Structure 1
Amino acid sequence: MAAQYEDLQKVGREQIESSLKVFGAFSKGLQGIAAELADYTKRSFEEGTSALEKLAAAKSFDKVIEVQTEYARSSYENFIAESTRIGELYTDLTREAFKPYEGAFARVRPFTER
């Protein structure tokens, strides 16, 4: 009976440690994503402000179209690049967050394959 109780305590401790590791990984990953999004927002605002200044200084309609087209193209490219980067960060977050549970899944697998 005492051995079963000790085994139960050990499993409980392992689960708590795994949960703390998962929480730490999520916290770190979400901080990285938030920082990346804040940087992207700042860059987007600066690029928008610069484009607006160029539009205000444009002397002809052709120049306005050129500035707007360049801004739209660069905004689209930056958005795609940033979306890809954020997707990679979420993938890394998921991998890191579930790493502590890999050992638990490996121990359970032999019981499910019987």
Structure 2
Amino acid sequence: MVKVEDIQQYGKEHMETVVASANTLQSGLQAIATAYGDYARKSFEDGKSFVEQLAGVKSLDKAIEVQTEYAKSAYETFVAESQKIAGLYGDLARQSYKPFEGLVAKLSPAAAR
């Protein structure tokens, strides 16, 4: 037989789990937004520097060299930042569901009866 106290305790634990997950979600999304902002800022600065360099070249060969260096650098930065942001998404998913593990563990034995 289920007691009222048990139901109240379950509700309290469930609410604490939801709040913990929401706090983790908020901080994780903030970290992801910061990473996107940092990448956008760096990309803008690199593009600005590229245009300044390109404006100062005197020959076609030098223009191609500057453009090639910029393309290589932009690609490497994109790959590195993409991996960093993907890692942040993975961490966010793991941390957001972590509080629910204890709740599921408590429910699993009850469901098996």
Q: Given the two structures, how large is their TM-score scaled by the length of structure 2?
A: 0.93
Structure 1 residue ranges without an equivalent (≥5) = none
Residue 113 of structure 1, CA deviation: 4.9
The answer to whether the aligner puts 1:102 opposite 2:107 as a matched pair is no
Tell me what 2:73 maps to. Answer: 74
Deviations 1:20-56 (A, max 9, x none): 0011000000111111111111110000000000110
Q: Does 1:21 align with 2:14?
A: no
Specify the alignment match of 2:9 in structure 1: 10
Runs of 4+ in 1 over 6 A off after TM superposition: none
CA RMSD of aligned residues (A): 1.5
Deviation at 1:111, TM superposition (A): 4.1
Q: How many residues align?
A: 113
The alignment partner of 1:26 has SS state of helix
TM-score, with structure 1 as normaliser: 0.92
| Whole-angstrom distance in 1 between the partners of 2:30 and 2:43 | 20
Q: Find the counterpart in structure 2 of residue 83 from structure 1.
A: 82
